[in-house]
Structure 1
Amino acid sequence: MSLQARVGLLAFVAVILGVGLTVGGSYFLTQRELRQEVDDFLERRAEVVAGTLGNPADAGARGELGTLPVIGVIELADFDAHVQILDGEGQPVFSIGAVVLPVGSEERRLATGGDAPVRRTAEIDGQRYRILTAPFSGEGAVQIARNLDETDRVLNDLLRRTVPLGAAIAVAAATAAWLLTRRALRPVAQLTDATERVARTQDLAAAIEVNRGDEVGVLARSFNAMLEALRTSRQQQKRLVADAGHELRTPLTSIRTNVDLLQRVESLQEGERRRILTDVNAELHELSELVRELVELAGEPGADDEPFATLDLADLAVEAADRARRRTGREIATEASDREPVSGQLGSLERAIDNLVGNATKFTPEGTPIRILTAGGRLEVHDAGPGIPIEDQPLVFDRFFRSASARAKPGSGLGLAIVKQIIERLDGHVWAGKSPMGGAEVGFEIPTGKADDH
């Protein structure tokens, strides 16, 4: 069953329940009110009869006033209730009307000396009567009864009017709910169609038109944002594959050329053969680094399995400087002005700092200074090299970007892109600019705090 049908059915059931409760409540209240009116009427009539007769023996003083029969001063003609007089033993001694009222144990007990009136509803000759039995001041009792046909007719008329009306209201409410739901869920239907179209055609350019601000509109806008993100991701993926293919082609071509030369090993001098093998080894190393960086960049290293820890960027900077110093023999200084901890993934942050320091050692001349400055969640790497041209500074963190002056250097152009990916995953940002030392300043900043706060 569709959502639209379920909402319509739910509205129908809810309205039916509401109408049922309303009709039932109205019926119950009306029945109680009418019964109370009948009971009040019977009490008034019982008071008149009991006050006139005094005791059951007076019922024998029946006479006539003109053409009207009387008991004392009570005119019997057109009396609007059935009357039955009980003696002190609970036996009927007189009645007005052709209906014989039932006398039970409670009525007999009342006639022999009780004081609380007895009320009940009884069926006599197929008709329902409301009966009140009230005591005389001495002994005996008077029974007053009234036919409930009029009361039942009023209640039946109430049901006949309200039940069809309630059903009509329920049907109208369900229809209105179905129509409103159809209109409200139109963007959902469009969303479903768009989803199926994207799954069928792989076309991520199809967006949903949104002109509403409710929850369904929010859902549609979220879907459009998802399509835009997927479209951007696909474009980046295509660009990554194209760039990777371009970058892989150079070392592979070089390796193939050198292997072709080695196949003519008999005609090569030993020194030439050794030089070719060295070139092949270097190209293989560069190719391995490129593949590793591609895998790392595509797989978001550490995003899933590496736990967060409370870290000190100053300590990580010192360790990165030691590793670079052992690898290159360069002198790298560190300076910390604030030791506020950060929350991050150890391996990922080490990788980011190593890439920044490695970038500085790669593009600066031997003997020039390199400094790593830290302050809380901020880390900067300064060098005294040629620096980064202003027009290239916004681009150095893009995948495979290499400035014109850096293309002669080994590398893939992925190192700073990996740094950006790691830092942005920690809600930080990266930058590149000119260092006071005359070269480049490249760094990042991430929020401070302990791992428990992440």
Structure 2
Amino acid sequence: MRFVPRSLRSQITASVALLVVVVTGMAGFIVVERIDHRDRTDVDRQLVERADKVREDADKLISTGDQAATRGNDDYGGLLAGSQSLVRLVADGKVIAQRGEQPTVDIPVPTSDGFSTIEADGQSWRSLVEPVETVDDADGERLQLLQDLSPIEQRLTDNTGVVAVVAILATVVAGGSVWLVTRFILQPLERLRRGAQRIRPGDVQQQLPTVSRPREVADLSSSLNGMLGQLQTSMHATRRFTADAGHELRTPLTTIGMNLEVLRRYPDLPPAQRQEALDAMAVEHHRITTLLEGLQILARGDSRALPARTTVDLPALLTEAVRAARHRHPMTTYELAVASGGIPYVHGWPAGLRLALDNLLTNAALHGRRPHGHVEVSLTWDDSQVHLVVADDGPGIPPDQREAAMHRFTRGPRPQSQGSGLGLALVQQQAELHGGGVTLSDAPLGGLQVTLSVQVQEVSDGTDRDEGTPGHEPG
């Protein structure tokens, strides 16, 4: 809206000022109305009392005729003297006698009995008309008592003015006070605003100031800093993905380009050389595809762009992963052993855990003894963690190189495959996302033993498991 203040401080001040003027005005006018009602009620009561006194001696009113009451010397007990009141005796629509302060205006003759308010040339009178009996027993004689309402109306005007002045003063004082107080109340928000203005593109470490009170602003500060942390994590993951992809894709793309150039320049290459170039490009294409898939998964994990968690039956997931690995590597023997007892359940991402298992089983086959390797897979657990162990019979990794092997794009000193070097990095990331870790050690078979540990959610009795009784499963 056009007239709504733009700043929060101004909006709060305007709102409080409006509230104060409305409340003060309403309260004041209610009080003024009650005072005016009381004054008018008092006038009616006084008119009734005067009527009782005047009615006792109506004949005297007729005999005295039209006279102005002498102040302090009134046969009616001083009820009329100086009281801005008037008593009239009316018969046949005419005033036959009146007593009191003579009006400066013509007051209409009443046509009905009871109370009424008469307006005469801008002057208000309160009137009470009652029948009266006189000595001549004339029919239709009525007694009218009038009271000038000018003092009451003047008091109403004065009181209304006082209320208006008080409301205006209260509004000004309240508005000024709120304007000063909101400066301190909104200071935490102002700190957040200045902190937000200092954030620049590319500054991945910048955070908003930490605010402890009030609670609402503290919660806002915490939420915004959490959002900034997520954005910074996502930005870091995106930059790392871009850098890793640019670095690792350069070599395979160059190889594919060279082979394409050879095929373009020498269309009459012998079939054997032509097939060799095509096979090399197919290998590099597979390497690029595998590399991009791995980098995408790592980037999603780094940025925490993950689906909702669900309950995972890890023994069932491992059994299916071993079955698929046997199909992919028929020359490798997989031996699966699952501890007996309750079945561990993990609260996490089935796709991520399956990816980690597939990488471990594939690495064990690729880096184990060729062509007839042997891989031992076991699953154990305790009250806090599930331990999945994959051991192969290959050359293993020297102890001084195991920490480096967990880094991205790191391949062993004697690689036996064209892997991307992301396998163990993917496994470690999934382990950390599930509250665990990865340990490399010497395997009983002579090769490398990898232990993947994840946090346990719960352990069931295993009676409803579909994969059969846990135990030893040779392959």
Return the TM-score normalized by structure 1.
Answer: 0.72
Residue 126 of structure 2 aligns with an amino acid whose one-letter code is: R
RMSD: 4.9
Partner of 1:440: 450
Report the CA distance shift for 1:443/1:206 in structure 2 as closer, same or farther (over 3 A): closer
Q: Does 1:429 align with 2:444?
A: no
For residue 294 of structure 1, report the CA deviation from its aligned partner.
Answer: 1.5
Task: Give the equivalent residue in structure 1 for 2:391.
Answer: 384
Structure 1 residue 146, shift from structure 2 partner: 1.9
State the match for 1:16 in structure 2.
21
Q: Report the CA distance between 1:157 and its aligned residue.
A: 1.9
Q: 1:75 to 1:227 in 2, by over 3 A?
A: closer
Q: Which one-letter code corresponds to 2:120 in the other structure?
A: I
1:332 to 332, 335, 340: 335
1:42 corresponds in structure 2 to: 47
Provide the residue aligned with 2:423 in structure 1.
415
1:241 aligns with 2:248: no
Q: Please tell me whether the aligned partners of residues 322 and 361 of structure 2 are also in contact (alpha carbons under 8 angstroms).
A: yes
Distance 1:310 1:245, change over 3 A: same
Q: Summarize the alignment of residues 275-294 of structure 1 with structure 2, pairs less than 5 Å apart.
A: 281-294=282-295
Superposition map of 1:79-90 within 5 A: 80=83, 82-86=85-89
Q: Percent identity?
A: 25
Which structure: greater helix fraction? 1
Alignment of 1:212-361 (within 5 A): 212-214=212-214, 215-249=216-250, 251=252, 281-299=282-300, 312-328=313-329, 329-335=332-338, 337-339=341-343, 347-361=351-365
- Residue 2 of structure 1, aligned match among 3, 6, 13: 6
- 1:129 maps to amino acid: W
Whole-Å Cα distance in 1 between the matches of residues 183 and 111 of structure 2?
Answer: 66
Q: Is 2:376 the counterpart of 1:369?
A: yes
Give the 3 Å change call, closer, same or farther, for CA 359–223 of structure 1 in structure 2.
Answer: same
**1: CA distance between counterparts of 2:430 and 2:19?**
53
Q: After TM superposition, give the deviation of residue 96 of structure 1 in Å.
A: 1.4
- For residues 432 and 297 of structure 1, do their structure 2 counterparts lie closer, same or farther at Cα, with a shift above 3 Å needed? closer
Give the distance between the partners of 1:125 and 1:41, measured in 2 at CA.
24
Q: Distance in 2 between matches of 1:209 and 1:178?
A: 24
Task: For residue 87 of structure 2, give the secondary structure of its aligned residue in structure 1.
Answer: strand
- Residue aligning to 1:112: none
SS of aligned partner of 2:451: strand
CA-CA distance at 1:322 after TM superposition = 0.4
- Confirm or deny: 8 A CA contact 2:361 2:390 kept in the other structure: no
Residue 412 of structure 1 aligns with an amino acid whose one-letter code is: S
Q: Does the 8 Å contact 1:401/1:414 carry over to 2?
A: yes
Q: How many residue pairs get matched?
A: 428
Distance 2:205 2:442 in 1: 46
* SS of structure 2 residue aligned to 1:331: strand
Q: Residues 356-384 of structure 1, C-alpha deviation per residue, up to 9 Å, x if partnerless?
A: 43344455552242224579996542133
1:76-155 alignment runs, 5 A limit: 78=81, 80=83, 82-86=85-89, 92-97=95-100, 98-99=102-103, 102-107=108-113, 118-134=114-130, 142-155=143-156
Q: Provide the rounded CA distance (Å) in 2 between the counterparts of 1:392 and 1:27.
A: 90
Inter-partner Cα distance in structure 1 for 2:322 and 2:85: 115
Amino acid at match of 2:37: R
Does residue 157 (structure 1) correspond to residue 158 (structure 2)? The answer is yes
After TM superposition, the score normalised by the length of structure 2 is 0.69
Distance 2:12 2:91 in 1: 68
TM superposition shift of 1:39: 2.6
Deviation at 1:290, TM superposition (A): 0.9
> In structure 1, the residue corresponding to 2:438 is in which secondary structure?
strand
